[in-house]
Structure 1
């Protein structure tokens, strides 16, 4: 499988992608889940999240100012992300290596990242599209 990660800008091929527990970064999506009282598995800071879908990773990259899109190679077996409702879409592992910088600066001109994710995943149950 080919894995992608969208996130912190400025990484290079060969750099190790590490979880927030190891880097100390405060800018993470799990912080939003924590603030909203999400379940423990949604607030993990000891893993790196990966996806098999390039456009999903691109949407997550756009949550960062000047976020980047990377192709990555997990450094251990991956586990499915328990928050993801779509099988074979989202994974996590302790670390990954950057093997390619797909897009060093992801910009959404007329789409916000949350609108992009809704487009990819379809409308939420009970919501208007």
Structure 2
């Protein structure tokens, strides 16, 4: 299976994708979930999220300032992301290694990341 990750820029092949607990970053989507009163599993900071769809990971990269899109390999078996209602689309794991840099800077010029998420969810037309 091929996995993608969208997030922190500047990584290169061989670098580890680590969870916020290990990196100390304050910029993470789980922060938004916490502010909105999301469930405990949505506010986890001890896992890395991977997607099997490149465009989905690209959307997440766009949430990060100058975020990047990577192909990655999980270090250990992955668990389904409990927030994802599409089976097989999103996964979580303790850490993953960058295999390739797909796009070093992901920018959405005509559509916001929020609009892309709604389009991917099928709630608005493309």
Fold conserved (TM > 0.5)? yes
Match of 1:78 in 2: 78
Superposition pairs of residues 109-128 of structure 1, within 5 angstroms? 109-123=109-123
What is the distance in 1 between the residues matched to 2:7 and 2:110? 20
What is the distance in 2 between the residues matched to 1:39 and 1:3? 25
Deviations 1:15-50 (A, max 9, x none): 011000000000000000001111000000000000
TM-score (ref. length: structure 1): 0.95
- Which shows bigger deviation, 91-100 or 109-118? 109-118
Aligned residues: 125
Equivalent residue of 2:115, what SS? Answer: helix
Match of 2:16 in 1: 16
2:101 is the counterpart of 1:105: no
Query: How many Å apart are 1:118 and its aligned residue?
Result: 1.2
In structure 2, stretches of 5+ residues that fail to align are none
Query: How many Å apart are 1:7 and its aligned residue?
Result: 0.3
Query: How many Å apart are 1:117 and its aligned residue?
Result: 1.3
TM-score (ref. length: structure 2): 0.97
Superposition pairs of residues 1-80 of structure 1, within 5 angstroms? 1-80=1-80
Moved >6 Å (runs of 4+) = none
What is the distance in 1 between the residues matched to 2:2 and 2:59? 17
Deviations 1:49-93 (A, max 9, x none): 000000000000000111000000000000000010111100000
